[in-house]
Structure 1
Amino acid sequence: MKEYKYVTLRQQPELKDRAAEWFHCKWGVPQEAYLECMELYLDNETEYGWYLCFDEDRIIGGLGVIENDFHDRKDLAANVCAVYTEEEYRCKGVAGHLLDMVVDDLKSKAITPIYLLTDHTGFYERYGWEFLCLVQGNDEPEMSRMYIHR
């Protein structure tokens, strides 16, 4: 089985611009928004971090943690966001490893519970996440699923 490399942005801060561009390409959120969050993390102004997976030199997966992932439940923080795995690397444990990594990292910093907004069903439960409630996403016509990891 192929070994992938998992890092936090603090472990490799030189990846900031590349990571921000990668997340922007996946989600369409302005690159500057990612850079702003990443800089707060790298400057130790927040423990809400950024986590990446590499296959050699290629970013193949990643996720971040922010205060609120564009929804109306401002009381639910911190939020895992921008969870993405390149299509050809799906079903190989990449997202699960990243999710476990972020849960362990935040728990070690006494940040618990954490939340995740998604339209997926059945995926996050495999990694210890529980459905919490429906929330209204910003500018979204339909309600979305909010998960919690305690």
Structure 2
Amino acid sequence: MEIIEYEEYDKKDQLIDCLKVCEWGAGKFLAKLIIEKSFEKILGKDGKVFFLMDDEKVVAFLTLTQKDCIDDTNLFPWIGFVYTDVVYRGKRYSERLIQHALKVAKEEGYSKVYLATDHVGLYEKYGFEYVENRMDVWDEDSRIYIINI
């Protein structure tokens, strides 16, 4: 298995197709942001989408961006859109991607990374610490986590 970055992959259409048929609505939304070229406008400059690939099959994906669903420009960067295909769950593949994103963030000079979710107990096992709940841009309650890198 290998981790690839969307912008550096030569078969971008394959990745978009995977996002478009993703069972998770946020995957479809991510595809829409990329297709409509609004990814940067919504999530900030220099954002990245990482995919964990099993040959040419997408196993998992996530983003590393300046913005996320919490409207606070003082908090950045964010790991978001964390998803693992149903067939591959339970093998900590999302952890591999998260560790990769944290490494990239550190290389870019960041000392902490944020994550917003409605999951309880998932990201704590990867080293994230709960900060607080806030309303997200869709007026839904979201848990904010932080990890120092």
User: What TM-score bracket applies, with the shorter chain setting the length?
Assistant: 0.7 to 0.9
Say whether 1:5 aligns with 2:39: no
Q: TM-score, normalised by structure 2?
A: 0.80
Q: 3-state SS of the aligned residue for 2:11?
A: helix
The equivalent position to 1:16 in structure 2, one of 12, 20, 42, is 12
Q: 3-state SS of the aligned residue for 1:29?
A: helix
Deviation at 1:39, TM superposition (A): 7.8
Q: Equivalent residue for 2:113?
A: 114
Say whether 1:143 aligns with 2:141: yes
What code does the residue aligned with 1:14 have?
D
Contact preservation (8 Å) 1:115, 1:148? yes
Q: What CA distance in whole angstroms lies between the structure 1 residues aligned with 2:20 and 2:110?
A: 26
Say whether 1:103 aligns with 2:105: no
Q: What CA distance in whole angstroms lies between the structure 1 residues aligned with 2:48 and 2:34?
A: 11
Q: Equivalent residue for 1:50?
A: 49
Deviation at 1:8, TM superposition (A): 2.4
Q: Deviations over 1:20-63 (max 9, x none)?
A: 343344323163413536789xxxx62x3221111221111000
Q: Equivalent residue for 2:87?
A: 88
Contact preservation (8 Å) 2:19, 2:30? no
Q: In 2 relative to 1, CA 95–75 (structure 1 residues): closer, same or farther, beyond 3 Å?
A: same
Q: Equivalent residue for 1:33?
A: 33
Contact preservation (8 Å) 2:118, 2:142? yes
C-alpha root-mean-square deviation of aligned residues, in Å?
Answer: 2.3
Contact preservation (8 Å) 1:38, 1:50? no
Aligned length: 140
Q: Which runs of 4+ in 1 moved over 6 A?
A: 37-40
Q: What CA distance in whole angstroms lies between the structure 2 residues aligned with 1:53 and 1:37?
A: 23
Contact preservation (8 Å) 1:51, 1:62? yes
For structure 1, list consecutive stretches of 5 or more residues without a partner in the other structure.
Answer: none
